[in-house]
Amino acid sequence: MHIAIINNYKISNVEYNAELYQLIRERKEKKITTKLKKLAINNLIDAFLLIEDSQKYDIQIDEQQVHYHFMEFKKQYPNPEEFSQHMERHSLTTERLIEHIRNNLHVKQFIKLKFIDRMNIDHSKICEYYKNHKHSFKTPEKVKLCHILIRSDDSNAFRKIEEISKRLFNNDDFYEVAKVYSDCPSATNGGDLGYISRGKLVKEIEDIAFTLPIGEIAGPIRTKFGYHFIKLMDKKKSRIPEFEEIKDSLKRQLEKVASELELLKHIRNLRAKAKIIIHEDSL
């Protein structure tokens, strides 16, 4: 039984199930939808056309990579039995799934060779893009915090708060105090939360954190999570980075977008020349 015909090649129900199965796992979908079915068959059509087109290139697939991707895919299941059950449910064999992974790697290598590696955006165009979109690169204001949390449901909360207050008043190391007392997972790192922008903290803490001088400590601050002590370690103002700072990453970003557009154009051309029949009622 086949789902679609591209030129003289028939896409089998097994191939279709393999692609649909992989999409379900990658996207963590709960059920198969019409949109997912159409995406699966169109992915297969595009992949076939690209594989057919890539035959003129000498593309070698590393079988170790195939095995690695297969094992990573298998790890998504809690045990081998559940993996086997899902395979059976979708009428798949291990050989067919491995072949499907190999084909996907082949297509990715072809895309890299023909589109990504060949793309080279001119320096002047990168400069022009930067000038026209400068404000989109603006970085938000950030604060670097260390944090201690005492949960409000802790029966010893007030005793701990008093002990923490005394130790911090005596200039004990905030990192060490956090390791001893904090109920936050960050305790293992001495309460270090790293750099945080606005909107990432609860309001009660954010209002204080962004006005606190560097090196100062505030607390206890009460929130719905409990009682907090914070120390401001550093502050970064909102700014637009200079062109020299981001020119390399911007070049990569623009080349990625350009290569994706070229790929889409190429696939449209391949589809226009191909004879494609999809049996919609078989999806």
Same domain, 40 and 112: yes
164 inside domain: yes
Confidence band of 33 (pLDDT split at 50, 70, 90)? confident
Same domain, 73 and 166: no
Is residue 101 pLDDT above 70, yes or no?
Answer: yes
Same domain, 188 and 269: no
Same domain, 158 and 265: no
Same domain, 105 and 9: yes
Question: Which residue blocks in the chain are alpha helix, DSSP H?
Answer: 13-27, 34-53, 63-74, 80-89, 94-111, 123-132, 157-169, 174-181, 203-209, 243-273
Is residue 40 pLDDT above 80, yes or no?
Answer: yes
230 inside domain: yes
Is residue 1 pLDDT above 70, yes or no?
Answer: no
Q: Residue written as tokens 């970003």?
A: 253
127 inside domain: no
- Note the pLDDT of residue 255: 92
95 inside domain: yes
244 inside domain: no
The count of domains in the chain is: 2
248 inside domain: no
Please report, rounded to a whole number, the percentage of residues in the chain having pLDDT higher than 70: 98
Mean pLDDT of 238-265: 93
Same domain, 116 and 11: yes
116 inside domain: yes
Q: Which domain does 273 fall in, by range?
A: 2-121+253-282
131 inside domain: no
The domain that contains 47 carries what CATH number?
1.10.4030.10
Q: Would the CA dihedral through 246, 248, 251, 255 be positive or negative?
A: negative
Query: Is the separation of the CB atoms in 204 and 222 below 8 Å?
Result: yes
Mean pLDDT of 76-93: 81
Measure the CA–CA gap between 194 and 96, rounded to whole angstroms.
46
The domain that contains 224 carries what CATH number?
3.10.50.40
